[in-house]
Structures are given as structure tokens and as C-alpha cells.
């Protein structure tokens, strides 16, 4: 990505942070696998502000009721809301899921075929759907076919801002570029999962647990400094 400057020192710092959080949380990407691509896309939408356990519970109910995009596109909002109730923000997520399903059905998009396309093309098609966007497209490609990228979610943004790696106005593509330039392709899925876990358990949004943080000494935002 042009226009983003990254010093060797910054690369080394990012790499050190990522290695440390992977070691701390040892995430298991296999736990996130869902075979059917449409269901995988729904699970990613449900995962926003929801624990993995509640996503699983919601997906069990959703899969039992809806076999694919066509069924969701023609279902009532209430039945979708009811199916995904174990997930947080289910009222808001149901119309989004229905909107995405409607576009997939109307445009006759074959998600299996999208998954066989090169990354830029697959990402372009997915991001063109209202309600998907580049981050959701990236997370989908990462889990559904092991694309070796490093999508940035709100937890990762917050952690990177506090650690002085992301600027206040840093955008998605720029921070993704910084992390991908510093983390080897084979480690990126682990890095994504571990950084989210770090943001959920240690560097939480309100009152970060700095006393338990391994980056206390180097963090410009630590409340103990
Ligand atoms: S020291 Fe505190 S603010 Fe900094 S990364 Fe750790 S938990 Fe977050």
C-alpha cells in the first residue's frame, strides 16, 4: 500500500507484540471453521460483540432453520431474529443478514465460486454487497479458505492505538498494511485471533487491565506510567 511509512523498529515492535499475544492465548483457528460458506458469513456477522460460545449457540439454531441464502431472503425478520437470539445485538443483526441473503439470492452469487477466485476479485465481489464491507469480506476469506491476511476489528484497532502503532485517524487499510508487513503470512490468522482475545481480556475498552499486561513498560497509554 503506497503512502504508509513503516520503520524497521516499528515492524520489530509489532512482530514482538504479536508473538507475545499468540503465546499468551494460543488460539485455535479450527474452532472457527464452518463448512457452508453462507453459514460462515452469517457466523462472522453474529460474532460482532458476541462471545464464541454464544455465536455457536446462535448458529446451531440458525442452521436448523435456514439451509441457505434463499431461505433467509424469503423468511420473516421475526423468524431470523428468533433464530439468532443467543447472539448479542440480534435485533440489529437480523435485518443485515436478511439484506445480505437477499442480494446473494437476487444476484445469484455462488459463494463457493467466489472462494475459488483470486483475493482481490473475491474481496471486490463480497465488499460490493450492502452490509458486508472490506473487514467482513476479509474475515470471511481468512476463515473460509485460510487467506493469509490480517483483518482489523475494533479490539485490534483499540489495542494498536493504545500501543502507539495506529494513529488516532488511522484507517482500516493502513493499519492492515502495517500489521501484514510485520507478521509472516502463516502467523496472520493466529495474530488476528490472539489480538482480539487480548483486547477482550486485558486491554479492554474501559479500564484496561494494565497491571496484567506484558506491554506495560513500552505502552504509551499505560495507566501506571
Ligand atoms: S499497558 Fe494497558 S493500555 Fe497499554 S496495551 Fe497494556 S492493557 Fe492496553
pLDDT tens for the chain, 225 residues long, are 656 778 999 999 999 999 999 999 999 887 777 789 999 999 999 998 888 899 999 999 999 999 999 999 999 999 999 999 999 899 999 999 999 999 999 999 999 999 999 999 999 999 999 999 999 999 999 999 999 999 999 999 999 999 999 999 999 999 999 999 999 999 999 999 999 999 999 999 999 999 999 999 999 999 765
CA 41 – ligand 1 centroid, Å: 31
CA distances to 44, 76, 111, 129 from 99, rounded to whole Å, are 15, 12, 16, 9
Closest approach atom of ligand 1 to CA 210: 2
CATH fold for domain 8-28+150-212: Endonuclease Iii, domain 2 (1.10.1670)
Distance 14 CA to ligand 1 centre (A): 14
Q: Which residues have a Cβ under 8 Å from the Cβ of 159 and sit 6 or more positions away?
A: 195, 198, 199, 203
Distance, CA 199 to ligand 1 centroid (Å)?
Answer: 9
Domain-by-domain residue ranges, the chain?
8-28+150-212, 30-145
Whether 199 and 155 have beta carbons less than 8 Å apart is answered as: yes
Closest ligand 1 atom to Cα of 209: 7
Domain 30-145 in CATH 3.40.50.720: no
Distance 52 CA to ligand 1 centre (A): 23
Establish whether residue 203 lines the binding site of ligand 1, counting it when its CB lies within 6 angstroms of any ligand atom.
yes
Amino acid at each position: 500500500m503506497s503512502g504508509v511509512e513503516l520503520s524497521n523498529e516499528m515492524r520489530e515492535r509489532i512482530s514482538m507484540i504479536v508473538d507475545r499475544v499468540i503465546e499468551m492465548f494460543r488460539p485455535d483457528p479450527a474452532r472457527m471453521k464452518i463448512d457452508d460458506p453462507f453459514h460462515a458469513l452469517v457466523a462472522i456477522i453474529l460474532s460482532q460483540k458476541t462471545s464464541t460460545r454464544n455465536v455457536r449457540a446462535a448458529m446451531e439454531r440458525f442452521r436448523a432453520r435456514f439451509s441457505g441464502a434463499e431461505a433467509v431472503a424469503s423468511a420473516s425478520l421475526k423468524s431470523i431474529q428468533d433464530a439468532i437470539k443467543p447472539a448479542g445485538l440480534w435485533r440489529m443483526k437480523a435485518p443485515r443478514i436478511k439484506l445480505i441473503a437477499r442480494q446473494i439470492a437476487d444476484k445469484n452469487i455462488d459463494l463457493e465460486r467466489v472462494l475459488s477466485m483470486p483475493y482481490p476479485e473475491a474481496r471486490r465481489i463480497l465488499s460490493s454487497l450492502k452490509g458486508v464491507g472490506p473487514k467482513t469480506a476479509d474475515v470471511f476469506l481468512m476463515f473460509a479458505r485460510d487467506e493469509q491476511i490480517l483483518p482489523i476489528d475494533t479490539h485490534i484497532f483499540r489495542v494498536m492505538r493504545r500501543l502507539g502503532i495506529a494513529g488516532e485517524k488511522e484507517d482500516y487499510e493502513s493499519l492492515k498494511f502495517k500489521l501484514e508487513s510485520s507478521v509472516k503470512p502463516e502467523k496472520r490468522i493466529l495474530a488476528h485471533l490472539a489480538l482480539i482475545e487480548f483486547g477482550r481480556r486485558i486491554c479492554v475498552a474501559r479500564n484496561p487491565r494494565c497491571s496484567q499486561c506484558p506491554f506495560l513498560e513500552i505502552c504509551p497509554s499505560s495507566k501506571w506510567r
